[in-house]
Amino acid sequence: MGRSSFALYPTPGLSLPLYLLGGAGVRGEDTVLGRSFVVAGAALWELLAPNLLSNAKNWSSVAGVPIVSDGQPVSIAKGGHQLLIASAGNAYVFDLSANTLVQVDPSAGANLPIAYVGYADSFFFALVENVAPTPWQINSSNSFDATTWQGTNFTEVTPFTDNPSAIFFNQRLMWVFSDRGIQPYSNTGDFPFPFDVIPGTYIESGLAAIFSLVRLDNSIFWLGQDERGSGIVWRANGFTPMRVSNHAIEFAIQGYSTISDAVAYGYQDQGHSFYVISFPTAGKTWVYDAATQQWHERDFWNKLTGKSQRHRAGFHTFNFGMHLVGDPTTGAVYQQSIKTYSDFGNVIRRVRRGPHITQELEWMFFNRLTVDLETGVGPVPPLQGNARSTLLNLADSSGNLWQVSMLDTGVLSVRPTSAQAGAMILNDPASGTSWQIEVSTLGILFPVQVNATANGKSILQMHSNTGATRWNLGVLQLAPGIATFFTVPTGIVGRGPELMLRISKDGARTFQDWPTRDCGQSGNTIKRVYWDRLGRARDFVPEIEATDSVPWRIIDGYLKADGYTPSERLNKQIAKQA
């Protein structure tokens, strides 16, 4: 049999911040005419070419027009030479030709509060929250001008039994969403409002989170709900919703206390289109790969708390040949790349749990688990290892026992011990003298000259007490009968990337750690990674984890097991020997 045609590739990492946009979190991103804009807190920033840290311009500061912030994501529409932003019910327009930022004047015909904005066929559109029982309106602007709204160019949204919650444009069609339904509109050329309902296209499925809408893979993705329930992720197949989430994902989503705050973005990398949806209250991020139709979870590992959090990429735009993602918690913008193997210096925990392996709940004996992965991908210089530290045990004149080790700084460390004492003699090749390492009753090391040159070493090679560095320990004669110790670093202890294994023998209720396996330093491409003698279980579940910052590519896993009882195994061995 050949190797698997599929492989697990690493999720992309986040660079160190390319831009620092103040302390407030990012609330939206978009790119128009080669210029990228980010709303962070109450400010609109333009991201300039990222050759310097924080190479961005704060247009809110220049224009003196702060963007009112409610801490929620903003809705952004782009068209012509303008950018229309809806935030906390207000609307703002940035003119790319004049480089001006203005707030839309409600007295000029733009009704407030505005919930969502869009653009199509030279018109900007705004979903307006009207006071009940008046139906909500969708207003349209003058052609190519988001600063001018006649006040008469609107349509009342009446297809729904409830109020609409968002408008979204794809392929020049306007989709109007509510909690319980979706109604597509098209440009019919009507006046004064150019769009009208497309007959026979009403969809009996609504929107659970207004910022889960994403245009991706020539379609629309969203987190849905209706009167029967919520928590299914859909994509549009024409005017028919197609379910893309599975039961496991839906079980997880429906277990969150809040899903209406979900925020999603889409991006394409290596020919795969990804729908990334985060749940801020739940602290979770899920990703759908439209090419493989598979889901996976992403997170940010907080090393201070030792807990998993939602991924720190909350918003996305593509410019300068890079995926630029905004941090909703800090206002930083990172480059997201498959060639980055950490999250701005923090480790990425990559976990893969295998299926339950059982044979009608009878005992099975597990002989070997082999993980088929690309080995020899360690960095140069190699990762710092953790070798067994070198320890010398000595006794002082009173019979007290002391243990000598080497610190990573090259300093000898002495501490009390109960281990059996030995002796160590070092030769000074320059003078031809030999010296025995002794320790005083106060734990101080000193050399004593002896006549045992043939039995001594010229250099004692030592691993530090952390096992991360290597040192040579020697003796240098200063004068007849007087000598001193010296240490010389010889390098770090190199290792390859390490793969951790945990196994469960009770159906994934509890897991036991097994020794890590070295996956080969750079160039060691024939390294095999396996664990032997894994014991017996009725329900066996393996789980592997990797945290080293290297390009992990896992192809498959092979498990050798048999279902013989102990007596059957013994009889089999006897028969084989006979």
Position 240 scores a pLDDT of 96
Instruction: Spell out the alpha helix ranges (H) of 166-262.
Output: 247-254
Position 306 scores a pLDDT of 86
Position 4 scores a pLDDT of 78
Decide: 265 and 273 in contact? Cβ < 8 Å.
Answer: no
Per-residue pLDDT at 237 exceeds 70: yes
Share of the chain above pLDDT 70, in %: 94
Domain locations along the chain: 364-384+495-577, 392-492
Count helices and strands in the chain by DSSP H and E runs? 3, 50
- Amino acid, res. 339: K
Q: How does residue 188 score in pLDDT terms, banded at 50, 70 and 90?
A: very high
What are φ and ψ of residue 212, in 5° steps?
Answer: -95, 0
Position 108 scores a pLDDT of 57
Position 37 scores a pLDDT of 97
Q: Cα(first)–Cα(last) distance of the chain, in Å?
A: 32
Position 440 scores a pLDDT of 95
312 is written with which tokens?
Answer: 């720190």
Distances (CA, A) of 423 to 401, 438, 439, 474: 12, 8, 11, 15
Position 135 scores a pLDDT of 84
Q: How does residue 161 score in pLDDT terms, banded at 50, 70 and 90?
A: confident
- The SS3 call for residue 560 is strand
Distances (CA, A) of 417 to 394, 401, 461: 9, 6, 21
Q: How does residue 568 score in pLDDT terms, banded at 50, 70 and 90?
A: low
Decide: 373 and 554 in contact? Cβ < 8 Å.
Answer: yes
pLDDT tens for each residue of 468-513: 999 999 999 999 989 999 999 999 899 999 999 999 999 999 999 9
> Rounded to an integer, what distance in angstroms lies between the CA atom of residue 233 and that of residue 287?
11
Q: How does residue 565 score in pLDDT terms, banded at 50, 70 and 90?
A: low
Least confident interval from 129-138, 286-295, 328-337, 415-424 = 129-138
Taking alpha carbons only, the member of 293, 222, 290 closest to residue 259 is 222
> Rounded to an integer, what distance in angstroms lies between the CA atom of residue 339 and that of residue 317?
18
Per-residue pLDDT at 428 exceeds 60: yes
Decide: 116 and 210 in contact? Cβ < 8 Å.
Answer: yes
The mean per-residue pLDDT over the stretch 73-94 comes to: 96
Per-residue pLDDT at 2 exceeds 80: no
For the entire predicted model, the pTM comes to: 0.86
The mean per-residue pLDDT over the stretch 309-315 comes to: 97
